[in-house]
């Protein structure tokens, strides 16, 4: 199996090259399947690697291919590491990624730049695979930067639209801010441990004492990178704007790839974070505030994709809370379940938008369950999963995060429980406004409502199945069944688990499950009464007042950034350009040009073009040289 590991990232790269170089020469009927089958091939090899790891808990597949960097005594190999952490990510990226590729074949079938779209999609998957396969922070960083580049290309795929271009640039720039933190963290790791290889760094960290300032600095800097990539406060505003890209891109970014990179990085660095308890607290509280804030904003959004975008930001906050309280396996468990139901929800949203002729405002939808039966049923399953209804996937991972929070801090638990309630409210609000009640769109839209083609509905059904049974990967102890994921990841997170967090009592787990179920039933009932029975339709944004207006305007965070960061920077840039660049530096450079030009003008006077004058000048010059020589 070691001999095939290199093919996992290479196959999507080949798909990118074929569609990218071939572009117009690759038939439309072929380019989508080339991209999809390349990811499927990576998924199949990943399954084989998973089987190898399952056969022996002590096996780690590591392959060093060549010496990549060499400077004095320092060397860095280009190598891949497939352990129990990376294999989980590989299966999620390639499995869910393959379904999104297949879905895209139907969704993008009328797109002019069909091959370019799939080329970008393959390149995205390649860099994400490189990120999780790398055996060092350097290779992780290469993949990290690569997915940032690809997000820019995909979010701005329809580049003729200036608003989409602005969204792409916003995502790129805000991620660069986080990347600077990651880069500084790597520099400090190298200065401290003399290496950027995982094994060397973690072995060195275990020999240090807890709460050393250098470990705190390293982990906080790395977390800055995670804040940018995984859209946490204060660098989260790029993610909702990323909805400018095609809907399958939203599914790929939000569910299977980019935003989970920050979670993976912290889980991979679990040894460092355990040794830096202050940093772990920071991680927990940043995730907590993000989960709550995004959940509140999601209550008043009316764009179907924006609601899902803010739910992603909120769910990522849940994952960071789990990381902060030391529940690393739980965080990764939620990464897996979230990949299933969030990819499902986004692809269902794409199916709705496809049927509505591009309309995304839920106030203009309603009653779609009859026209879109498959989309309706699968969206309902996704909604139940993210809301935490048993036995769907989100029920197990969400409750496990809440249980971990309970053992760490009652305050964190309380606020996180409120965030979980908000999740159920805004998701069922979205579900009822979209699929129930009377149709509120135009007559033309109603006449053209139709279910999506089979290439789009099959991925929906597969993801719905995974959203239903995916939670059984992590059964609670009270069910007296093995927690597969916890046992599977023990070789990676086991050392951290010894120090990280306590375990909730069985009584608390029973109470949590029971109260969660009762609350969910009450929420469904109340939301149903408001949006179906009473047929309430949200007001236009400009008519909303009070705190609801604050939520509709997303706490005015974008306006704050624009007023206090963007505009002052524009003023400073304008001053620097007009007064320093043009007024000072350019004048110095130009003055040399003017001086040279003036001197050349004087010299040009003696170049009259008359040969006789040239001969006289030469004779005079010779005489002067002779006289000068005689005098000396």
- Of the candidates 175, 143, 190, the one whose C-alpha atom is nearest the C-alpha of residue 239 is 175
DSSP labels for 16-30? HHHHHHHGGGS-HHH
45 vs 129: CA distance, rounded Å: 13
Interhelix angle 84-107/261-268, rounded to 10 degrees, is: 170
577 vs 556: CA distance, rounded Å: 30
Answer yes or no: is pLDDT of 52 > 80.
yes
Across residues 226-254, what is the average pLDDT? 91
- Of the candidates 210, 196, 59, the one whose C-alpha atom is nearest the C-alpha of residue 139 is 196
In the structure, what pLDDT confidence band is assigned to residue 312 with cuts at 50, 70 and 90?
Answer: very high
pLDDT, tens digit (0-9, with 9 covering 90-100), for 436-484:
999 998 899 988 899 999 999 999 999 999 999 998 988 887 777 788 8
Answer yes or no: is pLDDT of 372 > 90.
yes
4 close to 48: Cβ distance less than 8 angstroms: yes
| Choice among 6-10, 24-28, 378-382, 489-493 with the minimum mean pLDDT | 24-28
Tokens coding 304: 């179907």
Tokens coding 585: 């530096």
Torsion angle of the four alpha carbons 605, 610, 615, 618, in this order, in degrees rounded to the nearest 10: 10
pLDDT of residue 537: 87
More confident: 234 or 628: 234
pLDDT, tens digit (0-9, with 9 covering 90-100), for 67-126:
887 777 777 888 899 999 999 999 999 999 999 999 999 999 888 888 999 999 999 999
User: If you count them, how many residues does the chain have?
Assistant: 632
More confident: 437 or 632: 437
More confident: 612 or 622: 622
Pairs from 473-481 (Cβ < 8 Å, separation ≥ 24): 473/333, 473/336, 473/337, 473/396, 474/329, 474/330, 474/333, 474/396, 474/397, 474/400, 475/396, 476/396, 476/399, 476/400, 476/403, 476/509, 476/513, 477/503, 477/506, 477/509, 478/506, 478/509, 478/510, 478/513
Across residues 237-244, what is the average pLDDT? 90
pLDDT, tens digit (0-9, with 9 covering 90-100), for 326-365:
999 999 999 999 999 999 999 999 999 999 999 999 999 9
Counting Cβ atoms within 10 Å, is residue 288 exposed (0-12), middle (13-18) or buried (19+)?
buried
105 vs 119: CA distance, rounded Å: 13
Share of the chain above pLDDT 70, in %: 98
Interhelix angle 328-355/490-497, rounded to 10 degrees, is: 120
Average pLDDT, the chain: 91
Counting Cβ atoms within 10 Å, is residue 475 exposed (0-12), middle (13-18) or buried (19+)?
middle
Across residues 315-331, what is the average pLDDT? 95
Counting Cβ atoms within 10 Å, is residue 53 exposed (0-12), middle (13-18) or buried (19+)?
buried
Tokens coding 408: 């760490």
250 close to 239: Cβ distance less than 8 angstroms: no
The reported pTM is 0.91
| Choice among 29-43, 453-467, 596-610 with the minimum mean pLDDT | 596-610
Distance separating the N- and C-terminal Cα atoms of the chain: 88
Answer yes or no: is pLDDT of 501 > 90.
no
Residue 197's DSSP bridge partners are: 136
Please report which residue ranges of 56-161 form alpha helices under DSSP H. 84-107, 114-133, 137-155
Torsion angle of the four alpha carbons 97, 99, 100, 102, in this order, in degrees rounded to the nearest 10: 120
478 close to 510: Cβ distance less than 8 angstroms: yes
- Of the candidates 124, 98, 134, the one whose C-alpha atom is nearest the C-alpha of residue 20 is 124
pLDDT of residue 503: 75
Please report which residue ranges of 356-392 form alpha helices under DSSP H. 373-387
Counting Cβ atoms within 10 Å, is residue 431 exposed (0-12), middle (13-18) or buried (19+)?
buried
pLDDT, tens digit (0-9, with 9 covering 90-100), for 177-223:
999 999 999 999 999 999 999 999 999 999 998 889 999 999 999 99
In the structure, what pLDDT confidence band is assigned to residue 498 with cuts at 50, 70 and 90?
Answer: confident
pLDDT, tens digit (0-9, with 9 covering 90-100), for 138-159:
999 999 999 999 999 999 998 8
Interhelix angle 277-298/410-435, rounded to 10 degrees, is: 30
Answer yes or no: is pLDDT of 286 > 70.
yes
- Of the candidates 70, 69, 91, 66, the one whose C-alpha atom is nearest the C-alpha of residue 80 is 66
Tokens coding 21: 């170089």
Q: Cis (ω within 30 of 0) for the bond into 589?
A: no
More confident: 630 or 131: 131
Burial profile 219-246: b = 16 or more Cβ within 10 angstroms, e = fewer = bbbbbbbbbbbbbbbebbbbbbbbbbbb
316 close to 230: Cβ distance less than 8 angstroms: yes
pLDDT of residue 606: 65
Tokens coding 310: 């803010």
In the structure, what pLDDT confidence band is assigned to residue 628 with cuts at 50, 70 and 90?
Answer: confident
Interhelix angle 137-155/114-133, rounded to 10 degrees, is: 160
296 vs 294: CA distance, rounded Å: 5
Residue 82's DSSP bridge partners are: 61
DSSP labels for 155-205? HTSSTTSHHHHHHHHHHHHHHHHHHHHHHHHHHHHHHHHS--BHHHHHHHH
């Amino acid at each position: 199996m070691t001999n095939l590991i290199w093919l996992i990232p290479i196959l999507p790269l080949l798909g990118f090259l074929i569609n990218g170089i071939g572009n117009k020469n690759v038939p439309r009927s072929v380019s989508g399947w080339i991209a999809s089958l390349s990811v499927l091939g990576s998924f199949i090899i990943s399954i084989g690697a998973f089987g190898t790891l399952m056969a022996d808990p002590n096996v780690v597949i590591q392959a060093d291919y060549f010496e990549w960097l060499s400077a004095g005594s320092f060397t860095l190999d280009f190598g891949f590491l497939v352990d129990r952490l990376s294999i989980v990510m590989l299966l999620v990226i390639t499995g869910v990624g393959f379904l999104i590729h297949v879905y895209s074949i139907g969704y993008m079938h009328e797109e002019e730049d069909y091959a370019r779209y799939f080329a970008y999609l393959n390149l995205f998957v390649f860099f994400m695979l490189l990120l999780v396969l790398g055996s060092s922070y350097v290779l992780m960083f290469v993949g990290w930067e690569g997915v940032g580049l690809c997000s820019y290309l995909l979010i701005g795929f329809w580049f003729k639209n200036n608003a989409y271009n602005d969204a792409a640039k916003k995502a790129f720039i805000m991620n660069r801010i986080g990347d600077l933190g990651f880069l500084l963290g790597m520099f400090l790791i190298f200065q401290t441990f003399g290496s950027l290889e995982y094994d060397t760094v973690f072995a060195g960290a275990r020999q240090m004492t807890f709460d050393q300032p250098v470990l705190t600095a390293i982990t906080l800097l790395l977390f800055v990178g995670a804040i940018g990539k995984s859209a946490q406060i204060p660098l989260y505003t790029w993610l909702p704007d990323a909805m400018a890209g095609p809907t399958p891109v939203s599914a790929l970014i939000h569910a299977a790839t980019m935003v989970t990179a920050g979670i993976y990085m912290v889980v991979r660095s679990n040894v460092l974070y355990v040794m830096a308890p202050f940093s772990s607290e920071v991680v927990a509280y940043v995730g907590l505030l993000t989960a709550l804030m995004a959940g509140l904003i999601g209550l008043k959004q009316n764009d179907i994709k924006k609601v899902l975008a803010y739910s992603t930001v909120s769910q990522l906050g849940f994952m960071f809370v789990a990381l902060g309280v030391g529940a690393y396996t739980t965080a990764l468990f939620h990464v897996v379940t979230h990949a299933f139901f969030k990819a499902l929800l986004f692809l269902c949203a794409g199916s709705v938008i496809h049927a509505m002729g591009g309309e995304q405002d839920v106030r203009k939808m309603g009653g779609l369950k009859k026209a879109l039966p498959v989309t309706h049923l699968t969206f309902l399953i996704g909604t139940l999963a993210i809301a935490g209804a048993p036995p769907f996937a989100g029920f197990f991972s969400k409750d496990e995060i809440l249980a971990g929070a309970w053992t760490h801090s009652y305050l964190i638990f309380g606020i996180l429980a409120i965030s979980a309630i908000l999740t159920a409210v805004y998701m069922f609000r979205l579900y009822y406004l979209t699929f129930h009640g009377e149709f509120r769109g135009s007559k033309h839209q109603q006449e053209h409502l139709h279910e999506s083609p089979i290439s789009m509905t099959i991925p929906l059904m597969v993801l719905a199945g995974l959203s239903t049974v995916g939670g059984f990967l992590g059964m609670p102890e009270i069910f007296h069944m093995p927690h597969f994921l916890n046992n599977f990841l023990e070789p990676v997170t086991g050392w951290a688990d010894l120090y990280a967090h306590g375990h909730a009592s069985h009584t608390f787990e029973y109470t949590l499950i029971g109260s969660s179920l009762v609350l969910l039933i009450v929420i469904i009932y109340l939301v149903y009464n408001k949006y179906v029975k009473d047929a309430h339709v949200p007001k236009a944004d400009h008519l909303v007042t009070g705190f609801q207006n604050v939520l509709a305007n997303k706490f005015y965070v974008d306006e704050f950034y624009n007023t206090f960061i963007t505009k002052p920077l524009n003023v400073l840039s304008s001053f620097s350009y007009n007064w320093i660049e043009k007024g000072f530096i350019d004048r110095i450079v130009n003055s040399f040009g003017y001086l040279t030009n003036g001197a050349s003008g004087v010299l040009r006077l003696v170049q009259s073009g008359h040969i006789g004058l040239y001969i006289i000048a030469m004779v005079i010059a010779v005489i002067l040289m002779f006289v000068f020589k005689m005098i000396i």
